[in-house]
């Protein structure tokens, strides 16, 4: 015999005032009757309804065959007001009234249930109904109850933890807990406990998805006897956040449908019809000819395009209707209720995701247009509408948040009672970035980290969103953007709008324990939203001087100030913020970032790939580097790198060293301008190079020059030192912290072409000093390997946010390196 022991009628899901009104109407018991019929249709031998602190629903079907009265009682631990739900079976109205009198104190309630011999169980025992449950609370439940529910509305993770705990209890554990809490279990062999199953269905969508079965039971007394004697088995499937979210949407939809009589519009509106197919339980008939003709005609009509001023309600309706009419599967679903075999909860997720992605893309584009035009009031108006869109998606955010909380507590309880960790326990990091498929130092570092994580058996997934390759890349999850925004001031730089719900599900399904954001852009905002939803620690890396870039690219100081405000707000949401240099950390602190959050990000270099041993005259000849002094710049060719200063200094240097050659290794939007500035000089433009070819170009050179004042780190500076080159950097930004001034290189004032020329000319005039600096640079780089940097990087995630960092405290007083000049003899 099978029964769903935990299903609710509509009395417990609609607003209480409306419930009371409906109780006076003849049709008030329609929903319990539907529950009864659906449970019977699914093969349940018995049917009951267990509403919260009410029995009207169960009473309304009590005259039908195979039914009995049940209830879900809300009770409390008096010591901390932790809420507990208790299922009671085969009761009457008098017992119900006594439950309501006693339910404020769970100890009194349980005493009464035992005295009266009432069959009972604790519902979803690992679920914190009011967020107050602790391991001691759960341990007390183990003493108070014999029957524990496998709950169909909860995650498989939580139910599996319960299956790990309950059957493995022993006498020693129970008596230890009894002594610890001073609670007498009150029955023989209290370590022998039972698992039952119930769907905990509130929407009539998942009735009997989880149920209890007692083999051989022919009637209710035999079933209940089997329940108490260990003959019961919990069967069926657990839920996912998608299940809960669809139930929440369904509860709201069914309420408004019946309250406002939406039924009369269903055959006139294709959007309503699709929503109804997804969210209304029961079998629905095919639509009539009139609906088919109406939708076919409407499908051929041109649709009005949304504008920046389109209200949210109209925008959602327009985009949703457009999506349905363009999708033959959804049109067929509207007409016949056929969804190509896909289950409805996943189909609803896909539908909501695609519809809201369209709306979100429209909002993002409008917002960035306002930002670009500095339309401050329009910015706030658009953000308000975006907040309304977030509210529309709230059922998914709520469901994923609750399920994540359940997982965390369930794992904690399992660890406490069994000493076992789950198979997926341990640090699991989702690192969000928008630059993974670009050519820069950040993407290079992330690729190294992904490779080293695989080699060392650590769980690191790079999460990105761009038009990069859709081919499988180990350790990389690349999502298809829902939209893209091109910056007029920087045509080659684009912003991709990420699919938030898809990313949220990926992080949840992957059971990640940490989120790291390498960007404050749209993908970084998605990372922040996901971290807050899933209650995960979030770490941020500040690696690009965005406010300075904004000023350089737009020439607008107001835009720089606005960017700084956003940057500080964003990074203050992080648990910890990793900066590439102490100088960068000081700047962020001066702008308002909480200094307690700041940590220095460990970076290293591949000393096997970048090495003086890779020097090859054949490579020098192939690229036309000549036989005289070879000066190298490697990196992105863009305006903010101050390459115009290098052009001025090198043009002047050629008058003294006509055999010197400048090699520009890289590509970027400033390339044509730089070619013009260096026209007529012995300059070689190699374009973008990587791997062994790049390493050979480093090793074939004699001096590395990096004039940028906006770089926060500068990987190429370490690569050049590993290749045995002396270095010239400026006194602004992170690169100066990655050399030993006077030992491995020279620091010059930023923005000073004269100083840059003087340093270059002085080093070329002293070959022995250059060689000594090159050797010192190689020794320095060998102490900063990528392997050691990765181990330091991973150790960061073992640190609990808020604890003192053992590696670096950026706030400490550290003297800036003193610029040292080398003058020609």
Question: Tell me, what's the pLDDT at 281?
Answer: 74
Give the bridge partners for 706, in sequence order. 729
669 touches 636 (CB < 8 A): no
The CATH classification number of 612-785 equals 3.40.50.2000
Mean pLDDT of 241-269: 82
Mean pLDDT of 555-561: 65
* Phi, psi of 212, rounded to the nearest 5 degrees: -110, 135
Instruction: Give residue 356's pLDDT band: very low, low, confident or very high (50, 70, 90).
Output: confident
Q: Is the pLDDT of residue 145 over 70?
A: yes
Residue in 615, 569, 575 with CA at minimum distance from that of residue 592: 569
Q: Is the pLDDT of residue 385 over 60?
A: no
Q: Which residues contact 293 (CB under 8 A, 6 or more apart)?
A: none
Question: Would you call 562 exposed, middle or buried from its count of C-beta atoms within 10 A (0-12, 13-18, 19+)?
Answer: middle
Instruction: Give residue 466's pLDDT band: very low, low, confident or very high (50, 70, 90).
Output: confident
Q: Is the pLDDT of residue 539 over 90?
A: yes
For 775-807, write each residue's pLDDT tens digit: 999 999 999 888 988 898 898 887 765 544 444
Q: Which residues contact 116 (CB under 8 A, 6 or more apart)?
A: 95
Half-sphere exposure of 713 (CA within 13 A, CB side): 23
Residue in 379, 275, 373, 384 with CA at minimum distance from that of residue 320: 275
Residue in 506, 308, 500, 278 with CA at minimum distance from that of residue 390: 500
Question: Tell me, what's the pLDDT at 252?
Answer: 83
* Vertex 341: Cα angle to 337 and 345 (nearest 5): 75
The CATH classification number of 2-239 equals 3.20.20.140
For 585-639, write each residue's pLDDT tens digit: 888 899 999 999 998 888 888 999 999 999 999 999 999 999 999 999 999 898 8
Instruction: Give residue 811's pLDDT band: very low, low, confident or very high (50, 70, 90).
Output: very low
Q: Which residues contact 295 (CB under 8 A, 6 or more apart)?
A: 270, 325, 331, 334, 335
383 touches 367 (CB < 8 A): yes
Question: Tell me, what's the pLDDT at 546?
Answer: 60
Q: CA 644, CA 285: separation in Å to the nearest integer?
A: 72
Question: Would you call 685 exposed, middle or buried from its count of C-beta atoms within 10 A (0-12, 13-18, 19+)?
Answer: middle
Every domain of the chain and the residues it spans:
2-239, 244-392, 394-600, 612-785
Question: Tell me, what's the pLDDT at 22?
Answer: 39
Mean pLDDT of 666-695: 93
Q: Which has more confidence, 441 or 411?
A: 411
Question: Tell me, what's the pLDDT at 814?
Answer: 34
Of the candidate ranges 34-48, 171-185, 381-395, 658-672, the one whose mean pLDDT is the lowest: 381-395
For 636-656, write each residue's pLDDT tens digit: 898 889 999 999 999 999 999
For 169-192, write each residue's pLDDT tens digit: 999 999 999 999 999 998 889 999
Written as six digits, the tokens of 638 are 């863009």
Average pLDDT of the chain, as a whole number: 84
Instruction: Quote the percentage of the chain above a pLDDT of 90.
Output: 55
Residue in 798, 785, 794 with CA at minimum distance from that of residue 456: 794
Question: Tell me, what's the pLDDT at 43?
Answer: 94
* Phi, psi of 577, rounded to the nearest 5 degrees: -125, 125
Q: Is the pLDDT of residue 100 over 50?
A: yes
Instruction: Give residue 490's pLDDT band: very low, low, confident or very high (50, 70, 90).
Output: low
Question: Tell me, what's the pLDDT at 140?
Answer: 97
Mean pLDDT of 185-207: 91
* Vertex 341: Cα angle to 340 and 343 (nearest 5): 120
Q: CA 734, CA 522: separation in Å to the nearest integer?
A: 25
SS3 470: coil
Mean pLDDT of 241-252: 89
Instruction: Quote the percentage of the chain above a pLDDT of 70.
Output: 81
* Phi, psi of 47, rounded to the nearest 5 degrees: -135, 135
Question: Tell me, what's the pLDDT at 389?
Answer: 67
Instruction: Give residue 768's pLDDT band: very low, low, confident or very high (50, 70, 90).
Output: very high
SS3 633: strand
Q: Is the pLDDT of residue 461 over 50?
A: yes
Q: Is the pLDDT of residue 307 over 70?
A: no
Classify domain 394-600 at the CATH class level: alpha beta
Sign of dihedral through CA atoms 616, 619, 623, 626? positive
Q: Do domains 2-239 and 612-785 have the same CATH topology?
A: no
Q: How many residues does the chain have?
A: 825
Q: CA 663, CA 685: separation in Å to the nearest integer?
A: 6
Q: Which has more confidence, 195 or 336?
A: 195
Q: Is the pLDDT of residue 511 over 70?
A: yes
Q: Which has more confidence, 613 or 559?
A: 613
Pairing of strands 745-748, 727-730: parallel
Q: Kindly report the pTM of this predicted structure.
A: 0.79
For 727-744, write each residue's pLDDT tens digit: 999 998 778 888 999 999
Of the candidate ranges 319-323, 654-658, 719-723, the one whose mean pLDDT is the lowest: 319-323
């Amino acid at each position: 015999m099978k029964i769903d022991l935990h299903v609710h009628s509509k009395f417990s899901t609609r607003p209480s005032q409306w419930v009371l009104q409906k109780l006076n109407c003849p049709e008030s018991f329609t929903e319990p009757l539907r529950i009864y019929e659906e449970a019977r249709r699914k093969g349940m031998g018995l049917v009951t309804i267990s509403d919260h602190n009410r029995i009207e629903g169960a009473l309304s079907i009590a005259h039908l065959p195979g039914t009995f009265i049940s209830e879900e009682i809300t009770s409390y631990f008096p010591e901390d007001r932790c809420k507990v739900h208790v299922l009671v079976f085969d009761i009457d109205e008098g017992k119900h009234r006594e439950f309501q009198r006693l339910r404020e104190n769970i100890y009194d309630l349980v005493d009464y249930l035992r005295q009266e011999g009432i069959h009972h169980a604790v519902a979803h025992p690992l679920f914190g109904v009011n967020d107050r449950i602790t391991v001691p609370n759960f341990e007390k439940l183990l003493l108070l109850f014999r029957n524990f529910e496998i709950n169909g509305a909860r995650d498989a993770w939580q139910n599996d933890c319960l299956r790990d705990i309950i059957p493995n209890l022993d006498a020693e554990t129970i008596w230890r807990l009894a002594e610890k809490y001073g609670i007498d279990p009150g029955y023989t062999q209290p370590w022998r406990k039972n698992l039952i199953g119930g769907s905990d269905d509130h929407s009539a969508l998942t009735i009997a998805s989880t149920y209890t079965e007692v083999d051989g039971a022919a009637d209710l007394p035999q079933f209940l006897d089997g329940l108490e004697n260990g003959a019961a088995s919990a069967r069926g499937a657990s839920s996912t956040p998608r299940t809960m979210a669809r139930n929440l949407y369904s509860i709201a939809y069914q309420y408004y449908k019946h309250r406002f009589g939406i039924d009369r519009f269903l055959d006139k509106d294709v959007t309503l019809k699709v929503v109804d197919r997804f969210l209304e339980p029961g079998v629905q008939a095919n639509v009539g000819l009139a609906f088919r003709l109406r939708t076919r005609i409407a499908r051929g009509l041109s649709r009005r395009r949304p504008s920046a001023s389109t209200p949210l309600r109209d925008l959602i309706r327009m985009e949703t209707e457009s999506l349905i009419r363009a999708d033959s599967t959804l049109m067929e679903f509207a007409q016949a209720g056929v969804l190509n075999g896909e289950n409805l909860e996943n189909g609803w997720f896909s539908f909501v995701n695609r519809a809201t992605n369209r709306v979100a893309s429209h909002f993002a584009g409008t917002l960035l247009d306002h930002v670009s035009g500095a339309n401050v009031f329009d910015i706030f108006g658009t953000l308000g509408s975006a907040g309304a869109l977030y509210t529309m998606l709230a059922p998914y955010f709520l469901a994923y948040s609750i399920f994540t909380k359940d997982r965390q507590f369930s794992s904690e309880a399992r660890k406490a009672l069994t000493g076992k960790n789950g198979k997926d326990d341990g640090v699991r990091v989702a690192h969000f970035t928008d630059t993974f498929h670009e050519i820069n130092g950040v993407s290079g570092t992330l690729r190294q980290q992904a490779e080293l994580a695989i080699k060392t058996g650590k769980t690191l997934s790079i999460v990105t969103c761009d038009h990069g390759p859709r081919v499988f890349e180990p350790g990389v999850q690349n999502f298809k953007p829902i939209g893209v925004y091109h910056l007029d001031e920087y045509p080659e730089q684009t912003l991709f709008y990420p699919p938030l719900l898809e990313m949220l599900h990926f992080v949840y399904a992957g059971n990640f324990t940490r989120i790291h954001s390498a960007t404050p852009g749209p993908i970084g905002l998605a990372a922040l939203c996901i971290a807050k939803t899933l209650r995960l620690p979030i770490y941020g890396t500040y690696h690009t001087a965005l406010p300075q870039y904004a000023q350089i690219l737009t020439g607008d100081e107001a835009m720089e100030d606005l960017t700084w405000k956003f940057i500080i707000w964003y990074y203050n949401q992080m648990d910890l913020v990793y900066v590439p240099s102490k100088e960068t950390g000081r700047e962020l602190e001066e702008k308002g970032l909480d200094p307690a959050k700041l940590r220095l990000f460990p970076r290293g270099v591949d000393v096997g790939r970048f090495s003086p041993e890779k020097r090859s005259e054949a490579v020098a000849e192939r690229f036309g580097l000549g036989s005289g002094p070879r000066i190298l710049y490697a990196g992105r060719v863009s305006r903010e790198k101050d390459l115009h200063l290098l052009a001025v200094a090198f043009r002047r240097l050629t008058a003294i060293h006509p055999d010197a050659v400048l090699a520009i290794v890289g590509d970027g939007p400033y390339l044509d301008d730089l070619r013009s500035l260096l026209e007529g000089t012995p300059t070689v433009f190699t374009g973008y190079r990587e791997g062994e070819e790049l390493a050979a170009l480093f090793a074939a050179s004699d001096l590395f020059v990096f004039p940028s004042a906006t770089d926060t780190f500068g990987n190429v500076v370490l690569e050049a030192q590993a290749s045995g080159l002396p270095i010239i950097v400026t006194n602004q930004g992170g690169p100066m912290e990655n050399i030993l001034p006077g030992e491995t290189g020279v620091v010059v004032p930023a923005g000073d072409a004269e100083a840059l020329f003087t340093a270059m000319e002085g080093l070329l005039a002293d070959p022995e000093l250059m060689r000594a600096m090159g050797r010192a640079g190689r020794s320095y780089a060998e102490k900063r390997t990528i392997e050691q940097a990765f181990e330091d990087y991973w150790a960061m995630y073992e640190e609990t946010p808020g604890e003192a960092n053992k590696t670096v405290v950026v706030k400490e007083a550290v003297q800036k390196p003193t610029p040292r000049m080398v003058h020609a003899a």
